[in-house]
Amino acid sequence: MIPLDDRGLLLGDGLFETVLARAGDLVALEAHLERMGAGCAVLGLPAPDPAAAEALMRQALAGAGLQASRAAVRLTLTAGSGGRGLDRPADPAPRLFATAAASQLPTTPARLVTSSIRRNADSPASRLKTLAYLDNVLARREAAQAGADEALMLNTRGEVAGAAAANIFWIQGEALFTPALECGVLAGIARAQVMARAEALGVQTIRVRAQPEELARAQAVFLTNSLIGVRAVSVLDGAAFAPSPLAEQLAEAMA
């Protein structure tokens, strides 16, 4: 339970990570904790102690009886308790907690629609997993109402940013493309893993500032995040994409 004066609750002042657990193995835990620490530096908060964070996550897994399962473990850091208003106390004491839930791989490719809500490329929060995630919630809600699985979000400059809860890649010719971080994109851990795996297969990933037309012209499109690994996109705004041998290879490598 969290007190009513928590700044994460009141203002979205905090960060989270979602880590895949496979039979008790917290996948890429170090990268997740490093990213949370880097986010804390941007927000001006002390980073959590990695050992304490891991202990909380293992407790959450055990508490949910998911040590032997495929599970999502969410680590949440709030800026802690504070007084009224926007200003943090002089010496903020972050609050850290973890929760765990079963997580299955999706069995179908994703159908996407472009959201009317854009990612704010003029805020550092657009490159972090913050507790102020309402735009993503609303974009996903819009997608669901349109019968889609996920929302494609452009940024406020009209460039491709990503999906509401995933990074996006597309294949064109011999190359793989993904939006540059400056587009208002989370430095996804699965994104980095996919780029490394593609490189091992001899495929360059070009980080770009791309207009949505470039995505629409792609041969194949896929999403990545820590829980789903690689998920093919079958449809974007009604236009279909073919399955891609490269995307399937990357999906298998990440599964």
Which segment (51-59, 138-146, 192-200, 235-243) binds its own copies by CB under 8 A? 138-146
Beta bridge partners of 176: 171, 205
Among 23, 144, 175, 242, binds its own copies (CB under 8 A): 144
Q: Nearest approach, Cβ of 3 to its own copies (angstroms)?
A: 6
Q: In Å, how far from its chain's centre is CA 152?
A: 13
CA–CA separation, 128 and 55 (whole Å): 23
Lookup: tokens for 61: 């897994």
76 binds its own copies (CB under 8 A): yes
- Please, what is the minimum distance in Å from the beta carbon of residue 202 to its own copies? 35
Stretch that binds its own copies, among 74-82, 105-113, 175-183, 247-255 (CB under 8 A): 74-82
At 26, phi and psi to the nearest 5? -85, 100
Could you give the string, one character per residue 28-67, with x where binding to its own copies holds by CB under 8 A and - elsewhere? ---------------xx-----------------------
Give the list of residues 6+ apart from residue 134 with CB closer than 8 angstroms, or none.
Answer: 12
- # of chain residues touching its own copies (CB under 8 A): 55
Residue 18: how many other CB atoms lie within 10 Å = 18
Classify 212 in phi/psi space as left (phi over 0), alpha (psi -120 to 50) or beta.
alpha
Looking at beta carbons only, is 157 or 207 nearer to its own copies? 157
> In whole angstroms, what is the distance from residue 199 CA to residue 229 CA?
17
CA distances to 34, 63, 101, 206 from 56, rounded to whole Å, are 16, 10, 14, 37
Q: From residue 87 to residue 126, what is the string marking binding to its own copies with x (rule CB under 8 A)?
A: xx--------x-x-x-x------------xxxxxxxxxx-
Sign of CA dihedral 108, 148, 99, 75: positive
Pick 137 or 206: Cβ nearer its own copies: 137
Tell whether residue 86 is a contact of its own copies (CB under 8 A): yes
Q: What is the pattern of x (binds its own copies, CB under 8 A) and - over residues 1-20?
A: xxxxxxxxxxxxx--x----
Catalog residues that contact its own copies under the rule CB under 8 A.
1-13, 16, 43-44, 72, 74, 76, 78, 83-88, 97, 99, 101, 103, 116-125, 130-138, 140-141, 144, 156, 164-165
